[in-house]
């Protein structure tokens, strides 16, 4: 994190540490470390400082979000994995943070099983990007940066 840049917190939820070893038809072969490296590289290009966090424990994710309240993040990008579909606890935690949140998914969740079509996080997120693999994260980072810029400049581009 950097005092002068735009600071973005990227949150990865349950099972996402298994990217690269998990269901390649939906998630490809890219690992979480490669996703984080690509986000950091794009962030450097765009003047964003990217901090990533992954956990398989819902309470740890809630506490990481609480901790962010005392840190200087300007936006959140979150792929909550299966928590997306049922964790009102994570949605409520995100709602506490007064910064824009962008939901992302590697797979095209609306083209899969019915239970994946609902996002309980949608009510606290500005929007969602899904189905583009690694590119979903990169687009999500760009969207988060655009939202921060919009709030700063009070314009929408």
Of the two residues 5 and 56, which places its CB atom closer to ligand DQA in the complex? 56
Kindly state the number of chain residues that form the binding site for ligand DQA, as judged by CB under 6 A: 10
Q: Which strands, in side-by-side order, build the sheet including 6-12? A: 48-54, 6-12, 75-79, 101-105, 127-130
Q: Of 7, 52, 54, 107, which lies in the binding site for ligand DQA, with binding defined by CB under 6 A?
A: 107
Q: Which of 4, 12, 26, 27 is catalytic?
A: 27
- Please tell me whether residue 116 binds ligand DQA under the rule CB under 6 A: yes
C-alpha 81/C-alpha 155 separation (Å) is: 32
* Annotation says 105 is catalytic: yes
- Please tell me whether residue 12 binds ligand DQA under the rule CB under 6 A: no
Among candidate residues 141, 118, 120, the one with its CA nearest the CA of residue 129: 141
Residues from 16 through 75 that contact ligand DQA (CB under 6 A): none
Cα–Cα–Cα angle for 154, 156, 157, nearest 5°?
135
- Please tell me whether residue 79 binds ligand DQA under the rule CB under 6 A: yes
Q: Which of 12, 74, 105, 137 is catalytic?
A: 105
* Annotation says 137 is catalytic: no
The burial class, CB within 10 Å (0-12 / 13-18 / 19+), for 120 is middle
| Binding region for ligand DQA (CB under 6 A) | 15, 79, 81-82, 84, 105-107, 109, 116
Q: Which residues are known catalytic residues?
A: 27, 105
């Amino acid at each position: 994190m950097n005092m002068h840049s735009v600071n973005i917190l990227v949150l990865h939820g349950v099972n996402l540490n298994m990217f690269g070893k998990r269901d390649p038809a939906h998630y490809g072969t890219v690992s979480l470390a490669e996703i984080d490296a690509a986000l950091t590289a794009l962030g450097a290009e765009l003047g964003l400082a990217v901090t990533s966090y992954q956990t398989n424990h819902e309470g740890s994710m809630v506490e990481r979000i609480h901790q962010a309240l005392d840190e200087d993040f300007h936006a959140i990008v979150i792929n909550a994995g299966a928590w997306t579909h049922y964790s009102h606890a994570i949605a409520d935690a995100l709602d506490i943070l007064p910064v824009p949140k962008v939901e992302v998914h590697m797979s095209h969740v609306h083209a899969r099983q019915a239970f994946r079509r609902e996002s309980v996080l949608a009510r606290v997120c500005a929007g969602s990007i899904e189905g583009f693999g690694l590119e979903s994260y990169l687009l999500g980072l760009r969207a988060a940066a655009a939202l921060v810029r919009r709030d700063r400049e009070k314009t929408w581009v």
